[in-house]
Amino acid sequence: MSAHVEWSTRSVDETDAFDYWRDMICDAFVQLSARPRSPEPFSGHIAHSDLDTVQLSTVTAGPQQVDRTTSLIARSHEEFVLASIQLDGRGVVQQSGRDAVLDAGSMAFYDSTRPYTLGFDGPFRQLVVQVPKRALTTRLLTDGTAVPLGRDGPARLVSDFFVGLARGAGSGAEMQALAPHAIGLLDFALGIAADGARPNQAAVSRRVRDAVAAAADQPDASVDTVAAACRTSRRTVFRALSEDGTTFTELLRAERVRRAAQLLRTRPDLPVAVVAARSGFAGPAQLHRAFRRELGTTPGEARTITPPGADRHP
């Protein structure tokens, strides 16, 4: 059965309006925190409809910032994909280091299982579509990044459908029959948005390689270190290296050998143990094994050899 409910700050005193609003948005969506962005009196209204697995909320409100924080995520078990369709005003969705700008007519997807921020500097109106992740076959990017969908072509058809569905959701149970079609259409739109948002693979690979090079002299360098430096996920790092035909271990070892070989040539006075430490190796034994594997020689012999790629990172 479909259900429709409306909340408004008009039902409380002006001094209590924003506190009431915080409760409203938590009832309509996932657990959220919020703060106003204007000293002016706040007002807000939400028309919320529940069509089986599809929840539609038309939000009309004043300037504010809404946050889905790590602590709020930890205290809840909701796993939703949300789509904001901007009807009036302007907003920004921020997730995983990416901003999706929402102008009137545009649409953006984001993931409730990752922290995000919604920002509105002025009055706005938007439709928020909320669907359990399990109901969709298409997934957001592996790092949970907010992805935008434009306002023309297929995007316009998708947004028009959901705006019409929200408008009629409170008028009768027959709208329930459209819920399965809504899921399929949302899957379609999410696929378009995710494909358009995927970064250039060559650029990702370059960033990963640069991050490995920067971290190689640290004994505790790891995939997590590189992922954090690239502001992406572990899976993205693994995928970029796999498509380059290498692994994190292989790339890290090769970079450390390159650094060690450069030190051996330019600083012949340094003991092998010092070279190993400055290059990120745990000790001389690990350094010897890596040289045998990468160069087929010993550190001592390598003092007179210029290895491939020696000038790549001066």
Structure tokens that stand for 100 in this block: 């999706």
Whole-angstrom Cα distance, residue 53 to residue 43?
29
Cβ proximity of 291 and 298 under 8 Å: yes
Cβ proximity of 261 and 307 under 8 Å: yes
Structure tokens that stand for 67 in this block: 């946050």
Cβ proximity of 90 and 102 under 8 Å: yes
From 113, 58, 51, 106, select the one nearest 81 (Cα to Cα). Answer: 113
Domains and their CATH numbers in the chain: 2-197 (2.60.120.10), 201-302 (1.10.10.60)
DSSP bridge pairs for 84 = 108, 128
Q: Provide the residue type at 152 as one letter.
A: D
Q: Which residues, at least 6 apart from 113, have a Cβ–Cβ distance to it below 8 Å?
A: 73, 79, 133, 144
Give me the tens of pLDDT residue by residue for the chain, a chain 314 residues long.
458 899 999 999 999 999 999 999 999 999 999 999 999 999 999 999 988 889 999 999 999 999 999 999 998 888 999 999 999 999 999 998 778 889 998 888 899 999 999 999 999 999 999 999 888 876 665 445 566 676 777 778 888 899 999 888 756 556 677 777 888 888 888 777 765 555 556 777 888 999 999 999 999 999 998 988 887 778 778 888 888 889 999 999 999 999 999 999 889 889 999 999 999 999 999 999 999 998 888 888 877 665 445 444 43
Q: Provide the residue type at 133 as one letter.
A: K
Whole-angstrom Cα distance, residue 261 to residue 275?
9
Through-space distance between the first and last CA atoms of the chain, rounded to whole angstroms: 67
Backbone φ, ψ for residue 40 (5° rounding): -70, 155
Cβ proximity of 146 and 93 under 8 Å: yes
Q: Which secondary-structure segment (H or E) carries 120?
A: strand 116-120
